[in-house]
Amino acid sequence: MHRGLQFFSRIIPATAVLVFCMWMDVISSNVVANDEIIEFSANTIEQIPNRAPISGKLYVAKDKIRIEMAIEGKRRIVIRDFSARKTLHLNPAAKEYMEVPWPATKSNQFHSGVRRPPLPGDSDHHCEKFAQLKCKMLNKEGEIYNRKTEKWEIIQEVPNKQIQSGKRVIRSLVWVDRRLGVNIREEMFFDVNSKSLRELRDIKEGPQSEKLFQIPTGYRRVEISAKTETSRTDNMQPAK
């Protein structure tokens, strides 16, 4: 296999797990007008038990999102373009890129801008849809890194036949930035000694340069293989 395809066959599944479950939470089924989207950049950090912290950068424009991170010692860049309906995977070390078009959709479901996720307290948030989730506001006027936030507690009950109660309780603390429309800090407690953290730091509001979302000069396109596409699709299936 070509070394470029080897790289992308690893980067796409790994990035899909991190990006689509992490800072791509900025994107969901809720749509707002482009002029309501506040463009910003931020540093990202994710800390998972028994793993090294993963740091990166997030750039949000009206119709595009760029995420940079280092995984397994390699710098990885993912750009999601809502107007062009495609995702770009960039390999800076080899100066290569892969373009993945999005599946066809009905014309009335097409949206050309970034979409905000439902937040705790919204009528279409998961807490309003699923009985196993309970949300409670702990502080309406909090602050993190000079950002006004709401602090929420989310309790999730997960079936587990291996314990006496028959269910496992996962507690999360979430700090919501209503202005940006995202959670800027999330802490998840699996048990007394196990906690994960993901957070946006050094948030800077303002227009994002179009160059951030373009393929750099000198990059060579690598075509996606059927095997890589199958692996990518399998890794992006929703959890059951």
Helix (H), strand (E), coil (C) string for the chain: CCHHHHHHHHHHHHHHHHHHHCHHHHCCCCCCCHHHCCCEEEEEEEECCCCCCEEEEEEECCCEEEEEEEECCEEEEEEEECCCCEEEEEECCCCEEEEEECCCCCHHHCCCCCCCCCCCCCCCCHHHHCCCEEEEEEEEEEEECCEEEEEEEEEEEEECCCCCCCEEEEEEEEEEECCCCEEEEEEEEEECCEEEEEEEEEEEECCCCHHHHCCCCCCEECCCCHHHHHHHHHHCCCCC
pLDDT at 5: 45
Of the candidate ranges 17-31, 42-56, 103-117, the one whose mean pLDDT is the lowest? 17-31
- pTM (2 decimals)? 0.75
pLDDT at 31: 44
Does the pLDDT at position 27 exceed 70?
A: no
**What CATH fold (topology level) applies to the domain 3-235?**
outer membrane lipoprotein receptor (LolB), chain A (2.50.20)
